[in-house]
Every structure is written in C-alpha cells, then in structure tokens.
C-alpha cells in the first residue's frame, strides 16, 4: 500500500540555522508533491508545490527538492526563526485522481532562540 | 485562495449521539473534501462532496456513519453519527484550487471529543 514517511516526529533547531525536513514515499508515483504548514488548532496551510519534472522550487526562505528516483523530497527553511515553529506536512497527488491527495503524518519543528 | 469557516470549532459529546459539522466557503467550488486527523496522525480523506450528487466515500468510511450534505456550491455538512470515543478527532473540510485541484485550502477544523 502507499506509504509516506516524514523523517521524524519532532525536530529542534537553533534559530538562524537551516532546518531540513525529509519526506519519503513508497508504492506511489506522484505527479506532484506539496508541503503544508499546520499550527496547533488550525488547518494546514499550503506552502509549496513541486511537480515530478521539477528538481527544485524556492519561495523566499523555503526550498523544496524532489527526487523521483530516490522517492524523496527535502524541505529546507533557511535562516530559521522561532515563528517557523509548526508541524510541516508533505502530501502527494496525481492528476488522474485529483481529489486523493495523500498526506504524511508531519514533522513538528521547533526553533529555539 | 479560498476562505473557509467551520462550525463548531470544538465540541464534547456523549457516546451514541450525533454531531453535524458545517463548512462554509467564501466562493463557489465544485468539490469539497472532508478529512479526519487523529492525534499525531496524518490527514485521512473521508469523502469528496460534489454539489448535486452523492458524496464519494473512501475505503473504511460509510455513508451511514458519516452522512454528508452538499446543498449548494458554498456549503457542506458532515455528520458523525452514533459516536464512540474512537471518533474523537479533528475534522477538517477543504476545497481545491481552480480546475486542477492540486492545492487544497483547509478550514480551521472541528475538534471533537467523545466521552
């Protein structure tokens, strides 16, 4: 069955450092991969989308890579700030089944001052 | 993007009762989605609600337990029926963007505790 694994349940990073989160998947061939941010008591908020034919995507301090051979995505936050503390979810989707986006369980990121 | 509101934001219910969750979107959308997020778990799709047709349920979810209404293009309800403590979870509605539905916009969620 399809499976998404995010590297760890929790990650603690010193402010100013680069946070790197990992998303691995098996038994799936996604057309695109997304990253969402979720704060406590709130719904997920879309951050970035990267398609299968793209290697890297950037948005401000965020960078996402997508390696379909390794079946892995890396999500980087550079110059991390305490305000970046949240749970980050990766999600996979296929155009043939647009409604069935599959989510990972998330990594809880804490940035300490 | 879309702005989505949900009611109630949280509730505590007794087992055996039912709760109806409302989801309102600020624009007309074709598909609305209902998810469940149990503590420490990923989001699991319950069903897709299209206006004017029956909802499509994912494996493990049935209409008798989670009836859904979709009376118009901006509103949907999810009912959690005959609740048990195992139904304690966060329930989220979402809508997709435009025609591709690649990106989803989520409501704030309804936190349900069943005693």
Rounded mean pLDDT, A104-113? 94
Task: State residue A1's pLDDT score.
Answer: 74
Residues in chain A: 113
CB B95 within 8 A of CB B29: yes
Q: Which CATH class is domain B19-101?
A: mainly beta
pLDDT at residue A89 is higher than 60: yes
Domain range for A77: 3-106
> Looking at the 3D structure of chain A, how many domains does it have?
1
- B110 interface with A at CB cutoff 8 Å: no
Picking from A45, A98, A104, the nearest residue to B96 by CB comes out as A98
Specify the DSSP class assigned to residue A6.
Answer: E
Nearest residue on chain B to A50, alpha-carbon basis: B102
Kindly state whether residue A112 falls inside one of the protein's structural domains: no
Q: Is the peptide bond before B40 cis (omega within 30 degrees of 0)?
A: no
Q: φ and ψ at A96, to 5 degrees?
A: -75, -15
Of B76, B42, B82, B43, nearest in space to B62 by CA:
B82
Task: State residue A96's pLDDT score.
Answer: 66
Q: Specify the CATH number for the domain of residue A19.
A: 2.60.40.10
Q: How far apart are the first and last CA of chain B?
A: 36
Write out pLDDT tens, residues A32-79: 999 999 998 899 999 999 999 999 999 999 999 999 999 999 999 999
Kindly state whether residue A30 falls inside one of the protein's structural domains: yes
How many CB atoms within 10 Å of residue A105?
17
Mean pLDDT over each residue of chain B, to the nearest integer: 92
Nearest residue on chain B to A92, alpha-carbon basis: B102
Kindly state whether residue A11 falls inside one of the protein's structural domains: yes
Write out pLDDT tens, residues B40-92: 788 999 999 988 888 999 999 999 999 999 999 999 999 999 999 999 999 99
Mutation site for B-interface testing, chosen from A43, A93, A98, A104 by largest number of B Cβ within 10 Å: A43
- Tokens 């009376």 found at: B71
pLDDT band at A107 (very low <50, low <70, confident <90, very high): very high
User: Percent of chain B, pLDDT > 70?
Assistant: 97
pLDDT at residue A28 is higher than 90: no
Kindly state whether residue A102 falls inside one of the protein's structural domains: yes
Of B1, B103, B47, nearest in space to A32 by CA:
B103
Kindly state whether residue A81 falls inside one of the protein's structural domains: yes
Picking from B44, B100, B105, the nearest residue to A98 by CB comes out as B100
H-type alpha helices, chain A: none
Of B33, B39, B46, nearest in space to B113 by CA:
B39
- Between A1-5, B7-11, B67-71, the lowest mean confidence (pLDDT) is in A1-5
């Amino acid at each position: 069955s399809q499976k998404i694994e995010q590297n760890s349940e929790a990650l603690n990073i010193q402010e100013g450092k680069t946070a790197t989160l990992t998303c691995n998947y098996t038994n799936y061939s996604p057309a695109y991969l997304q990253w969402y941010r979720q704060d406590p008591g709130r719904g997920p908020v879309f951050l970035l989308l990267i398609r299968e034919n793209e290697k890297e995507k950037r948005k401000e301090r965020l960078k996402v890579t997508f390696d379909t051979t390794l079946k892995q995505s890396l999500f980087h936050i550079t110059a991390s700030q305490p305000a970046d503390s949240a749970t980050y979810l990766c999600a996979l989707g296929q155009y043939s089944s647009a409604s069935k986006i599959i989510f990972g369980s998330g990594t809880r990121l804490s940035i300490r001052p | 993007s879309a702005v989505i509101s949900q009611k109630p934001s949280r509730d505590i219910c007794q087992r055996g009762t039912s709760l109806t969750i409302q989801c309102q979107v600020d624009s007309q959308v074709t598909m609305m989605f209902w998810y469940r997020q149990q503590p420490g778990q990923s989001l699991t799709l319950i069903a897709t609600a299209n206006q004017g047709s029956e909802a499509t349920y994912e494996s493990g979810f049935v209409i008798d337990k989670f009836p859904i209404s979709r009376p118009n293009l901006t509103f949907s309800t999810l009912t959690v029926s005959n609740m048990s403590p195992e139904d304690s979870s966060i329930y989220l509605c979402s809508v997709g963007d435009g025609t591709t539905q690649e990106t989803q916009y989520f409501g704030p969620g309804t936190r349900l505790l069943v005693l």
